[in-house]
Amino acid sequence: MTISKFLYTQAIQCPKSLWLKKYKLEVLSSADASTSAVFETGNIVGELACKLFPDGVEVAFTREYDKMIETTSKLIDAGVKYIYEATFVYDGILVIVDILQIDEDGISIYEVKSSTSVKEIYLHDVSIQYYVLSQLGFSIKSANVVHIDNTYVRGDELDIEALFAIVDVTHEVVELQDAIPYRLEEFEDVLSDKTDEPDIDIGAHCNKPYECDAKEYCWRVQREIPEYSVFNIFNLGSKKQVALYKQGIVDIKDILDDFDMTDKQFEAVSNYKSRKSYIDKESIRAFVDALSYPIYHLDFETFQQAIPEFKGISPFMQIPFQYSLHIEQKDGKLEHHEFLADDGVDPREELAKKLCNDIPRDVTVLTYNMHFEKGVIKKLASEYKEYSSQLLDISDNIKDLMAPFQKKQYVTPSMMGSYSIKYVLPALVPDMKDAYESLDGVQNGTDAMSAFATLSSLDTDEKQKMRKALLEYCKLDTLAMVKILGALKRVVDD
Ligand code: SF4
Protein backbone atom coordinates (compact mmCIF):
# COMPACT_ATOMS: atom_id res chain seq x y z
CA MET A 1 0.00 0.00 0.00
CA THR A 2 1.19 3.51 -0.77
CA ILE A 3 -0.71 6.26 0.97
CA SER A 4 -0.05 9.94 1.59
CA LYS A 5 -0.94 11.78 4.76
CA PHE A 6 -3.73 13.47 2.77
CA LEU A 7 -5.23 10.10 1.87
CA TYR A 8 -4.75 8.89 5.43
CA THR A 9 -6.88 11.73 6.81
CA GLN A 10 -9.46 11.21 4.05
CA ALA A 11 -9.62 7.55 5.00
CA ILE A 12 -10.17 8.49 8.65
CA GLN A 13 -13.28 10.36 7.48
CA CYS A 14 -14.42 7.46 5.29
CA PRO A 15 -12.46 4.44 3.98
CA LYS A 16 -14.65 4.42 0.88
CA SER A 17 -13.36 7.90 0.07
CA LEU A 18 -9.82 6.48 0.10
CA TRP A 19 -10.87 3.63 -2.21
CA LEU A 20 -12.56 6.01 -4.66
CA LYS A 21 -9.52 8.28 -4.71
CA LYS A 22 -7.33 5.31 -5.57
CA TYR A 23 -9.49 3.40 -8.04
CA LYS A 24 -12.43 5.50 -9.23
CA LEU A 25 -11.25 9.07 -9.48
CA GLU A 26 -13.67 9.84 -12.29
CA VAL A 27 -16.68 9.89 -9.93
CA LEU A 28 -15.25 12.63 -7.74
CA SER A 29 -16.41 16.22 -8.15
CA SER A 30 -13.74 18.69 -9.12
CA ALA A 31 -12.96 21.57 -6.79
CA ASP A 32 -15.33 24.52 -7.11
CA ALA A 33 -14.28 28.18 -6.84
CA SER A 34 -14.57 28.30 -3.05
CA THR A 35 -12.61 25.04 -2.55
CA SER A 36 -9.88 26.31 -4.87
CA ALA A 37 -9.79 29.58 -2.93
CA VAL A 38 -9.36 27.63 0.33
CA PHE A 39 -6.40 25.73 -1.20
CA GLU A 40 -4.88 28.95 -2.46
CA THR A 41 -5.23 30.57 0.97
CA GLY A 42 -3.64 27.48 2.52
CA ASN A 43 -0.62 27.83 0.25
CA ILE A 44 -0.17 31.53 1.00
CA VAL A 45 -0.54 30.98 4.76
CA GLY A 46 1.88 28.05 4.60
CA GLU A 47 4.52 30.15 2.89
CA LEU A 48 4.15 33.00 5.36
CA ALA A 49 4.37 30.67 8.37
CA CYS A 50 7.82 29.60 7.18
CA LYS A 51 9.00 33.09 8.11
CA LEU A 52 8.42 32.16 11.75
CA PHE A 53 11.32 29.76 11.22
CA PRO A 54 13.69 31.88 9.14
CA ASP A 55 16.58 30.90 6.93
CA GLY A 56 15.22 27.45 6.25
CA VAL A 57 15.46 25.58 2.96
CA GLU A 58 12.42 24.46 0.98
CA VAL A 59 12.28 21.08 -0.71
CA ALA A 60 10.91 21.88 -4.17
CA PHE A 61 7.66 20.08 -4.90
CA THR A 62 7.67 17.47 -7.61
CA ARG A 63 5.49 14.46 -8.31
CA GLU A 64 8.71 12.45 -8.17
CA TYR A 65 8.59 12.04 -4.41
CA ASP A 66 11.83 10.04 -4.36
CA LYS A 67 13.63 13.23 -5.37
CA MET A 68 11.97 15.16 -2.53
CA ILE A 69 12.95 12.43 -0.08
CA GLU A 70 16.53 12.47 -1.35
CA THR A 71 16.76 16.27 -1.11
CA THR A 72 15.38 16.17 2.44
CA SER A 73 17.97 13.62 3.44
CA LYS A 74 20.77 15.73 1.96
CA LEU A 75 19.55 18.85 3.80
CA ILE A 76 19.46 16.96 7.10
CA ASP A 77 22.98 15.68 6.50
CA ALA A 78 24.12 19.22 5.68
CA GLY A 79 22.91 20.39 9.10
CA VAL A 80 20.07 22.66 7.92
CA LYS A 81 18.01 23.74 10.95
CA TYR A 82 14.65 24.38 9.27
CA ILE A 83 13.36 22.41 6.29
CA TYR A 84 10.10 23.39 4.62
CA GLU A 85 8.16 20.55 2.94
CA ALA A 86 10.52 17.93 4.37
CA THR A 87 9.51 14.62 2.78
CA PHE A 88 9.73 11.10 4.18
CA VAL A 89 8.40 7.66 3.44
CA TYR A 90 8.02 4.66 5.71
CA ASP A 91 6.42 1.38 4.67
CA GLY A 92 4.57 3.06 1.78
CA ILE A 93 3.31 5.99 3.87
CA LEU A 94 4.42 9.29 2.41
CA VAL A 95 4.42 12.42 4.55
CA ILE A 96 5.43 15.97 3.74
CA VAL A 97 6.12 17.99 6.89
CA ASP A 98 5.26 21.68 6.45
CA ILE A 99 8.12 22.81 8.69
CA LEU A 100 10.70 20.53 10.27
CA GLN A 101 12.95 21.93 12.95
CA ILE A 102 16.14 19.98 13.56
CA ASP A 103 18.01 20.41 16.82
CA GLU A 104 20.86 18.39 18.23
CA ASP A 105 18.57 16.68 20.72
CA GLY A 106 15.75 15.89 18.31
CA ILE A 107 13.28 17.23 15.80
CA SER A 108 10.04 19.21 15.97
CA ILE A 109 7.13 18.95 13.54
CA TYR A 110 5.04 21.99 12.60
CA GLU A 111 1.85 21.53 10.59
CA VAL A 112 0.48 24.83 9.25
CA LYS A 113 -3.28 25.34 8.91
CA SER A 114 -5.12 28.39 7.63
CA SER A 115 -7.95 27.90 10.11
CA THR A 116 -8.32 29.64 13.46
CA SER A 117 -8.24 26.65 15.83
CA VAL A 118 -6.92 23.11 16.18
CA LYS A 119 -9.50 20.70 14.75
CA GLU A 120 -9.60 17.03 15.61
CA ILE A 121 -8.69 15.97 12.07
CA TYR A 122 -5.44 17.98 12.34
CA LEU A 123 -4.35 15.71 15.17
CA HIS A 124 -4.67 12.72 12.84
CA ASP A 125 -2.76 14.67 10.20
CA VAL A 126 0.12 15.35 12.60
CA SER A 127 -0.10 11.88 14.16
CA ILE A 128 0.74 10.13 10.87
CA GLN A 129 3.75 12.44 10.41
CA TYR A 130 4.84 11.62 13.95
CA TYR A 131 4.36 7.90 13.24
CA VAL A 132 6.46 7.90 10.06
CA LEU A 133 9.27 9.96 11.57
CA SER A 134 9.44 7.93 14.76
CA GLN A 135 9.44 4.68 12.76
CA LEU A 136 12.34 6.10 10.75
CA GLY A 137 14.23 6.49 14.02
CA PHE A 138 14.01 10.23 14.64
CA SER A 139 13.80 11.43 18.18
CA ILE A 140 10.79 13.76 18.22
CA LYS A 141 10.79 16.58 20.72
CA SER A 142 7.42 18.06 19.82
CA ALA A 143 4.57 18.06 17.33
CA ASN A 144 2.73 21.31 16.74
CA VAL A 145 -0.10 22.90 14.82
CA VAL A 146 0.48 26.44 13.58
CA HIS A 147 -2.81 28.23 12.95
CA ILE A 148 -4.12 31.76 12.45
CA ASP A 149 -4.97 33.73 15.58
CA ASN A 150 -8.15 35.61 14.71
CA THR A 151 -7.83 37.92 17.73
CA TYR A 152 -4.90 39.58 15.98
CA VAL A 153 -5.56 43.09 14.64
CA ARG A 154 -3.10 44.33 12.09
CA GLY A 155 -1.17 47.51 12.85
CA ASP A 156 0.91 49.49 10.32
CA GLU A 157 3.00 46.40 9.66
CA LEU A 158 2.10 42.73 9.62
CA ASP A 159 3.34 41.07 12.81
CA ILE A 160 3.63 37.41 11.90
CA GLU A 161 4.48 36.36 15.45
CA ALA A 162 1.13 37.77 16.55
CA LEU A 163 -0.74 36.54 13.45
CA PHE A 164 0.06 32.89 14.15
CA ALA A 165 -0.57 30.72 17.18
CA ILE A 166 1.61 27.66 17.73
CA VAL A 167 -0.11 24.89 19.66
CA ASP A 168 1.89 21.98 21.04
CA VAL A 169 -0.16 18.84 20.34
CA THR A 170 2.55 16.30 21.20
CA HIS A 171 0.52 14.70 23.99
CA GLU A 172 -2.61 14.22 21.83
CA VAL A 173 -0.58 12.94 18.90
CA VAL A 174 1.35 10.43 21.03
CA GLU A 175 -1.96 9.10 22.32
CA LEU A 176 -3.06 8.36 18.75
CA GLN A 177 0.07 6.34 17.90
CA ASP A 178 -1.08 2.92 19.16
CA ALA A 179 -4.14 2.97 16.91
CA ILE A 180 -2.24 3.83 13.72
CA PRO A 181 -1.00 0.31 12.78
CA TYR A 182 -4.56 -1.03 13.11
CA ARG A 183 -5.97 1.78 11.01
CA LEU A 184 -3.30 1.20 8.35
CA GLU A 185 -4.16 -2.49 8.32
CA GLU A 186 -7.82 -1.61 7.86
CA PHE A 187 -7.03 0.76 4.99
CA GLU A 188 -4.75 -1.82 3.38
CA ASP A 189 -7.58 -4.31 3.57
CA VAL A 190 -9.95 -1.83 1.91
CA LEU A 191 -7.49 -1.20 -0.90
CA SER A 192 -6.66 -4.86 -1.44
CA ASP A 193 -9.88 -5.35 -3.42
CA LYS A 194 -9.45 -3.23 -6.51
CA THR A 195 -12.77 -4.22 -8.04
CA ASP A 196 -15.43 -3.94 -5.36
CA GLU A 197 -16.08 -0.68 -3.59
CA PRO A 198 -16.28 -0.81 0.21
CA ASP A 199 -19.89 -1.18 1.31
CA ILE A 200 -20.15 2.01 3.32
CA ASP A 201 -23.44 3.82 3.56
CA ILE A 202 -23.92 7.58 3.40
CA GLY A 203 -24.38 9.51 6.64
CA ALA A 204 -23.26 12.43 8.74
CA HIS A 205 -19.63 11.50 8.06
CA CYS A 206 -20.06 12.65 4.43
CA ASN A 207 -19.97 16.25 5.65
CA LYS A 208 -17.64 16.00 8.64
CA PRO A 209 -15.02 17.24 8.99
CA TYR A 210 -15.10 18.06 5.27
CA GLU A 211 -17.78 17.83 2.62
CA CYS A 212 -16.72 14.74 0.70
CA ASP A 213 -16.02 15.14 -3.00
CA ALA A 214 -17.81 11.83 -3.68
CA LYS A 215 -21.19 13.09 -2.46
CA GLU A 216 -22.65 13.49 -5.92
CA TYR A 217 -21.73 9.86 -6.67
CA CYS A 218 -22.67 8.23 -3.35
CA TRP A 219 -25.78 10.31 -2.64
CA ARG A 220 -27.30 11.11 -6.00
CA VAL A 221 -26.07 8.33 -8.28
CA GLN A 222 -25.87 5.36 -5.92
CA ARG A 223 -28.54 6.10 -3.29
CA GLU A 224 -30.72 8.31 -5.50
CA ILE A 225 -31.24 10.92 -2.81
CA PRO A 226 -33.28 13.66 -4.48
CA GLU A 227 -32.27 17.30 -4.34
CA TYR A 228 -34.93 17.91 -1.72
CA SER A 229 -35.23 15.17 0.87
CA VAL A 230 -35.29 14.56 4.63
CA PHE A 231 -31.72 15.84 4.61
CA ASN A 232 -33.00 19.32 3.76
CA ILE A 233 -35.45 19.76 6.62
CA PHE A 234 -34.42 22.97 8.26
CA ASN A 235 -32.35 22.51 11.43
CA LEU A 236 -33.40 18.87 11.83
CA GLY A 237 -29.84 17.79 12.61
CA SER A 238 -27.86 14.99 11.02
CA LYS A 239 -28.74 12.47 13.76
CA LYS A 240 -32.47 12.61 13.02
CA GLN A 241 -31.93 12.90 9.27
CA VAL A 242 -29.79 9.77 9.25
CA ALA A 243 -32.30 7.99 11.54
CA LEU A 244 -35.06 8.65 8.99
CA TYR A 245 -32.82 7.53 6.14
CA LYS A 246 -31.95 4.29 7.97
CA GLN A 247 -35.69 3.62 8.29
CA GLY A 248 -35.93 3.92 4.52
CA ILE A 249 -37.57 7.36 4.66
CA VAL A 250 -35.97 9.72 2.16
CA ASP A 251 -38.95 11.55 0.68
CA ILE A 252 -40.43 14.11 3.06
CA LYS A 253 -43.94 12.95 2.23
CA ASP A 254 -43.15 9.62 3.94
CA ILE A 255 -42.34 11.17 7.33
CA LEU A 256 -44.92 10.07 9.90
CA ASP A 257 -46.79 12.81 11.77
CA ASP A 258 -45.54 11.60 15.15
CA PHE A 259 -41.85 11.96 14.20
CA ASP A 260 -40.00 14.11 16.74
CA MET A 261 -39.78 17.60 15.19
CA THR A 262 -40.16 21.20 16.28
CA ASP A 263 -43.43 22.97 15.48
CA LYS A 264 -41.74 24.89 12.66
CA GLN A 265 -40.29 21.72 11.12
CA PHE A 266 -43.66 20.00 11.47
CA GLU A 267 -45.34 22.93 9.71
CA ALA A 268 -42.80 22.86 6.88
CA VAL A 269 -43.22 19.10 6.45
CA SER A 270 -47.05 19.33 6.53
CA ASN A 271 -46.94 22.15 4.04
CA TYR A 272 -44.72 20.13 1.74
CA LYS A 273 -46.99 17.09 2.04
CA SER A 274 -50.19 19.03 1.41
CA ARG A 275 -48.58 20.88 -1.54
CA LYS A 276 -50.52 23.94 -0.36
CA SER A 277 -49.31 27.46 0.28
CA TYR A 278 -49.84 29.11 3.63
CA ILE A 279 -50.17 32.88 3.76
CA ASP A 280 -50.80 34.78 6.98
CA LYS A 281 -52.21 37.92 5.38
CA GLU A 282 -52.65 39.89 8.60
CA SER A 283 -49.05 39.41 9.74
CA ILE A 284 -47.77 40.33 6.29
CA ARG A 285 -49.97 43.42 6.30
CA ALA A 286 -48.46 44.43 9.65
CA PHE A 287 -44.97 43.96 8.19
CA VAL A 288 -45.70 45.98 5.04
CA ASP A 289 -47.52 48.75 6.95
CA ALA A 290 -44.52 49.22 9.24
CA LEU A 291 -42.37 50.30 6.27
CA SER A 292 -42.32 54.01 5.51
CA TYR A 293 -41.39 55.39 2.07
CA PRO A 294 -38.96 55.89 0.52
CA ILE A 295 -37.57 52.43 1.23
CA TYR A 296 -33.80 51.94 0.92
CA HIS A 297 -33.17 48.35 -0.23
CA LEU A 298 -29.58 47.61 0.74
CA ASP A 299 -27.22 44.71 0.14
CA PHE A 300 -23.49 44.37 0.91
CA GLU A 301 -20.82 42.12 -0.50
CA THR A 302 -17.87 41.33 1.71
CA PHE A 303 -14.63 39.44 1.47
CA GLN A 304 -12.20 38.04 4.02
CA GLN A 305 -8.44 37.87 4.29
CA ALA A 306 -6.61 35.15 6.20
CA ILE A 307 -3.63 37.49 6.27
CA PRO A 308 -4.85 41.05 6.85
CA GLU A 309 -3.52 43.46 4.26
CA PHE A 310 -4.79 46.65 5.88
CA LYS A 311 -4.39 48.32 9.25
CA GLY A 312 -7.20 47.57 11.69
CA ILE A 313 -8.21 44.31 10.01
CA SER A 314 -8.33 40.92 11.74
CA PRO A 315 -7.95 37.58 9.98
CA PHE A 316 -11.19 36.43 8.36
CA MET A 317 -13.02 39.63 9.30
CA GLN A 318 -15.90 40.49 6.95
CA ILE A 319 -14.61 43.42 4.90
CA PRO A 320 -17.34 45.21 2.93
CA PHE A 321 -16.20 46.16 -0.56
CA GLN A 322 -19.45 46.72 -2.41
CA TYR A 323 -23.07 47.62 -1.95
CA SER A 324 -26.17 48.09 -4.03
CA LEU A 325 -29.00 50.39 -3.02
CA HIS A 326 -32.40 50.63 -4.66
CA ILE A 327 -34.45 53.53 -3.37
CA GLU A 328 -38.14 52.83 -3.83
CA GLN A 329 -40.73 55.60 -3.70
CA LYS A 330 -44.35 55.02 -2.76
CA ASP A 331 -45.41 55.38 -6.41
CA GLY A 332 -42.99 52.60 -7.35
CA LYS A 333 -40.33 54.86 -8.82
CA LEU A 334 -36.86 53.36 -8.41
CA GLU A 335 -33.46 55.00 -8.14
CA HIS A 336 -30.25 52.98 -8.01
CA HIS A 337 -27.00 53.78 -6.21
CA GLU A 338 -23.98 51.54 -5.90
CA PHE A 339 -20.44 51.34 -4.64
CA LEU A 340 -17.63 49.04 -5.69
CA ALA A 341 -14.20 49.61 -4.18
CA ASP A 342 -10.99 49.74 -6.13
CA ASP A 343 -8.92 46.63 -5.68
CA GLY A 344 -5.75 46.70 -3.61
CA VAL A 345 -6.91 49.40 -1.19
CA ASP A 346 -8.75 49.28 2.11
CA PRO A 347 -12.35 49.80 0.98
CA ARG A 348 -13.98 50.44 4.35
CA GLU A 349 -13.70 54.19 4.91
CA GLU A 350 -14.74 55.17 1.39
CA LEU A 351 -17.64 52.76 1.55
CA ALA A 352 -18.75 54.15 4.92
CA LYS A 353 -18.57 57.71 3.56
CA LYS A 354 -20.56 56.90 0.40
CA LEU A 355 -23.15 54.94 2.38
CA CYS A 356 -23.71 57.95 4.64
CA ASN A 357 -24.12 60.13 1.55
CA ASP A 358 -26.59 57.72 0.00
CA ILE A 359 -28.76 56.93 3.03
CA PRO A 360 -30.07 59.83 5.10
CA ARG A 361 -31.05 59.52 8.74
CA ASP A 362 -34.49 58.29 9.82
CA VAL A 363 -35.43 56.35 6.71
CA THR A 364 -36.51 52.75 6.32
CA VAL A 365 -33.62 50.54 5.29
CA LEU A 366 -34.56 47.08 4.12
CA THR A 367 -32.14 44.16 3.91
CA TYR A 368 -32.54 40.42 3.48
CA ASN A 369 -31.12 38.75 6.61
CA MET A 370 -30.47 41.93 8.56
CA HIS A 371 -28.00 40.44 11.07
CA PHE A 372 -25.32 40.41 8.40
CA GLU A 373 -25.81 44.02 7.23
CA LYS A 374 -26.22 45.30 10.81
CA GLY A 375 -23.01 43.53 11.85
CA VAL A 376 -21.07 45.08 8.95
CA ILE A 377 -22.43 48.59 9.60
CA LYS A 378 -21.84 48.47 13.35
CA LYS A 379 -18.25 47.38 12.77
CA LEU A 380 -17.75 50.31 10.38
CA ALA A 381 -19.28 52.62 13.00
CA SER A 382 -16.77 51.41 15.58
CA GLU A 383 -13.88 51.97 13.18
CA TYR A 384 -14.76 55.40 11.71
CA LYS A 385 -15.87 57.83 14.40
CA GLU A 386 -16.62 60.54 11.86
CA TYR A 387 -19.46 58.46 10.41
CA SER A 388 -20.33 56.52 13.52
CA SER A 389 -23.51 58.33 14.53
CA GLN A 390 -25.09 58.15 11.07
CA LEU A 391 -24.02 54.57 10.52
CA LEU A 392 -25.62 53.54 13.81
CA ASP A 393 -28.77 55.39 12.77
CA ILE A 394 -28.82 53.40 9.50
CA SER A 395 -28.31 50.18 11.44
CA ASP A 396 -31.12 51.02 13.89
CA ASN A 397 -33.51 51.67 10.98
CA ILE A 398 -32.90 48.35 9.26
CA LYS A 399 -35.87 46.05 8.83
CA ASP A 400 -35.60 42.49 7.63
CA LEU A 401 -37.42 41.42 4.47
CA MET A 402 -36.58 37.83 5.41
CA ALA A 403 -38.75 38.05 8.56
CA PRO A 404 -42.14 37.10 7.02
CA PHE A 405 -40.56 33.99 5.48
CA GLN A 406 -38.47 33.11 8.52
CA LYS A 407 -41.57 33.41 10.71
CA LYS A 408 -43.44 31.16 8.25
CA GLN A 409 -46.01 33.83 7.51
CA TYR A 410 -45.62 33.09 3.81
CA VAL A 411 -44.83 29.52 2.86
CA THR A 412 -45.16 27.72 -0.45
CA PRO A 413 -44.18 24.10 -1.20
CA SER A 414 -41.59 25.29 -3.71
CA MET A 415 -39.69 27.08 -0.93
CA MET A 416 -38.87 23.60 0.33
CA GLY A 417 -38.90 24.65 3.97
CA SER A 418 -36.24 27.31 3.37
CA TYR A 419 -36.46 31.08 3.74
CA SER A 420 -33.28 31.70 1.79
CA ILE A 421 -33.75 34.27 -0.99
CA LYS A 422 -32.66 31.53 -3.39
CA TYR A 423 -35.98 29.77 -2.74
CA VAL A 424 -38.17 32.74 -1.86
CA LEU A 425 -37.46 34.73 -5.05
CA PRO A 426 -38.59 32.13 -7.61
CA ALA A 427 -41.59 31.26 -5.44
CA LEU A 428 -42.84 34.85 -5.28
CA VAL A 429 -41.41 36.27 -8.52
CA PRO A 430 -41.42 33.43 -11.08
CA ASP A 431 -40.19 35.84 -13.79
CA MET A 432 -36.88 36.08 -11.94
CA LYS A 433 -36.37 32.38 -11.40
CA ASP A 434 -33.43 32.23 -13.82
CA ALA A 435 -32.18 35.76 -13.12
CA TYR A 436 -29.04 34.70 -11.23
CA GLU A 437 -28.17 31.81 -13.57
CA SER A 438 -28.26 34.17 -16.53
CA LEU A 439 -25.65 36.49 -15.02
CA ASP A 440 -22.23 36.34 -16.60
CA GLY A 441 -19.35 35.49 -14.25
CA VAL A 442 -20.71 36.36 -10.80
CA GLN A 443 -23.85 34.50 -9.74
CA ASN A 444 -23.65 34.29 -5.95
CA GLY A 445 -21.89 35.72 -2.90
CA THR A 446 -19.04 33.22 -3.07
CA ASP A 447 -18.38 34.13 -6.71
CA ALA A 448 -18.43 37.82 -5.75
CA MET A 449 -15.96 37.26 -2.94
CA SER A 450 -13.45 35.42 -5.11
CA ALA A 451 -13.99 37.78 -8.07
CA PHE A 452 -13.08 40.78 -5.95
CA ALA A 453 -10.09 38.99 -4.44
CA THR A 454 -8.71 38.24 -7.92
CA LEU A 455 -9.28 41.72 -9.44
CA SER A 456 -5.70 42.85 -8.80
CA SER A 457 -4.30 39.99 -10.86
CA LEU A 458 -6.41 40.76 -13.98
CA ASP A 459 -5.46 42.87 -16.97
CA THR A 460 -7.44 46.06 -17.65
CA ASP A 461 -10.06 44.49 -19.95
CA GLU A 462 -10.63 41.47 -17.75
CA LYS A 463 -10.82 43.69 -14.69
CA GLN A 464 -13.42 45.90 -16.28
CA LYS A 465 -15.47 42.88 -17.27
CA MET A 466 -15.27 41.45 -13.76
CA ARG A 467 -16.21 44.76 -12.14
CA LYS A 468 -19.23 44.97 -14.43
CA ALA A 469 -20.21 41.42 -13.44
CA LEU A 470 -19.89 42.33 -9.74
CA LEU A 471 -22.05 45.43 -10.17
CA GLU A 472 -24.72 43.51 -12.07
CA TYR A 473 -24.84 40.76 -9.48
CA CYS A 474 -25.18 43.08 -6.49
CA LYS A 475 -27.76 45.22 -8.30
CA LEU A 476 -29.83 42.12 -8.92
CA ASP A 477 -29.81 41.35 -5.19
CA THR A 478 -31.54 44.59 -4.26
CA LEU A 479 -33.82 44.47 -7.31
CA ALA A 480 -34.91 41.01 -6.15
CA MET A 481 -35.77 42.54 -2.79
CA VAL A 482 -37.88 45.23 -4.47
CA LYS A 483 -39.76 42.53 -6.38
CA ILE A 484 -40.29 40.34 -3.32
CA LEU A 485 -41.67 43.28 -1.37
CA GLY A 486 -43.91 44.04 -4.37
CA ALA A 487 -45.27 40.49 -4.24
CA LEU A 488 -45.97 40.82 -0.50
CA LYS A 489 -47.79 44.10 -1.11
CA ARG A 490 -49.96 42.46 -3.75
CA VAL A 491 -50.89 39.71 -1.30
CA VAL A 492 -52.06 42.35 1.19
CA ASP A 493 -53.93 44.32 -1.45
CA ASP A 494 -55.76 41.31 -2.90
S1 SF4 B 1 -19.85 10.56 0.13
FE2 SF4 B 1 -19.93 9.69 2.16
S3 SF4 B 1 -20.02 7.49 1.86
FE4 SF4 B 1 -19.34 8.38 -0.07
S5 SF4 B 1 -17.13 8.29 0.03
FE6 SF4 B 1 -17.73 10.27 0.78
S7 SF4 B 1 -17.89 10.08 2.99
FE8 SF4 B 1 -17.88 8.01 2.12
The distance of Cα 161 from the centroid of its chain, to the nearest Å, equals 26
Asked if pLDDT for residue 90 goes beyond 90, the answer is: yes
Q: How far is the CA of 26 from the centre of ligand 1 (A)?
A: 14
Q: Is the CB of 218 under 6 A from ligand 1?
A: yes
Q: Is the CB of 378 under 6 A from ligand 1?
A: no
Give the pLDDT of residue 263. 83
Give the model's confidence band at 397: pLDDT under 50 very low, under 70 low, under 90 confident, else very high.
very high
More confident residue, 411 or 402: 402
Q: Is the CB of 206 under 6 A from ligand 1?
A: yes
Give the pLDDT of residue 171. 98
State the Cα angle at 397 between 392 and 401, rounded to 5°. Answer: 130
CATH assignment at residue 95: 3.90.320.10
Whose alpha carbon is nearest atom 3 of ligand 1? 202
Q: Which of 215, 217, 231, 245 to mutate to test the pocket of ligand 1 (most atoms within 8 A of CB)?
A: 215
Picking from 137, 159, 192, the residue at the C-terminal end of a domain is 192
**Domain annotation covers residue 352:** yes
**Domain annotation covers residue 233:** no
| Range of weakest confidence among 36-40, 62-66, 239-243, 339-343 | 36-40
Give the pLDDT of residue 200. 96
Do residues 49 and 158 share a domain?
Answer: yes
> For residue 436, how many other CB atoms are within 10 A of its CB?
19
Q: Is the CB of 200 under 6 A from ligand 1?
A: yes
Phi, psi for 353 (deg, rounded to 5): -65, -45
**Domain annotation covers residue 218:** no
Do residues 35 and 161 share a domain?
Answer: yes
Give the model's confidence band at 422: pLDDT under 50 very low, under 70 low, under 90 confident, else very high.
confident
Q: What is the mean pLDDT of residues 48-71?
A: 96
Q: How far is the CA of 238 from the centre of ligand 1 (A)?
A: 15
Q: What is the atom index within ligand 1 of the atom nearest the CA of 13?
A: 7
Q: Is the CB of 22 under 6 A from ligand 1?
A: no
Q: What is the mean pLDDT of residues 287-302?
A: 97
Give the pLDDT of residue 453. 87
Do residues 428 and 284 share a domain?
Answer: yes
Q: What is the mean pLDDT of residues 208-235?
A: 91
Give the pLDDT of residue 247. 93
Q: How far is the CA of 160 from the centre of ligand 1 (A)?
A: 38
- pLDDT, tens only, 130-145: 999 999 999 999 999 9
Q: Is the CB of 21 under 6 A from ligand 1?
A: no
Q: What is the mean pLDDT of residues 342-364?
A: 97
| Contact partners, residue 92, CB within 8 Å, separation at least 6 | 1, 2, 3
Give the pLDDT of residue 39. 87
**Domain annotation covers residue 405:** yes
Give the model's confidence band at 287: pLDDT under 50 very low, under 70 low, under 90 confident, else very high.
very high
Do residues 358 and 478 share a domain?
Answer: yes
Q: Please tell me the pTM assigned to this model.
A: 0.87
**Domain annotation covers residue 158:** yes
Domain that holds residue 183: 3-192
Q: How far is the CA of 9 from the centre of ligand 1 (A)?
A: 13
Do residues 458 and 311 share a domain?
Answer: yes
Mean pLDDT in the chain?
94
Asked if pLDDT for residue 384 goes beyond 70, the answer is: yes
Q: What is the atom index within ligand 1 of the atom nearest the CA of 212?
A: 6
Q: What is the mean pLDDT of residues 295-300?
A: 98
Picking from 192, 207, 226, the residue at the C-terminal end of a domain is 192
**Domain annotation covers residue 467:** yes
Q: What percent of the chain lies above the pLDDT cut of 90?
A: 83
Picking from 124, 157, 192, the residue at the C-terminal end of a domain is 192
- pLDDT, tens only, 472-494: 999 999 999 999 999 999 998 87
Do residues 282 and 159 share a domain?
Answer: no
**Domain annotation covers residue 246:** no
Q: What is the mean pLDDT of residues 193-208?
A: 94
Q: What is the mean pLDDT of residues 118-125?
A: 97
Amino acid at 158: L
**Domain annotation covers residue 245:** no
Please count the structural domains in the chain.
Answer: 2
Whose alpha carbon is nearest atom 2 of ligand 1? 206
Give the model's confidence band at 460: pLDDT under 50 very low, under 70 low, under 90 confident, else very high.
very high
CATH assignment at residue 443: 3.30.420.10
Helices 180-192/15-23 angle, 10° precision: 50
Q: How far is the CA of 217 from the centre of ligand 1 (A)?
A: 9
Asked if pLDDT for residue 1 goes beyond 90, the answer is: no
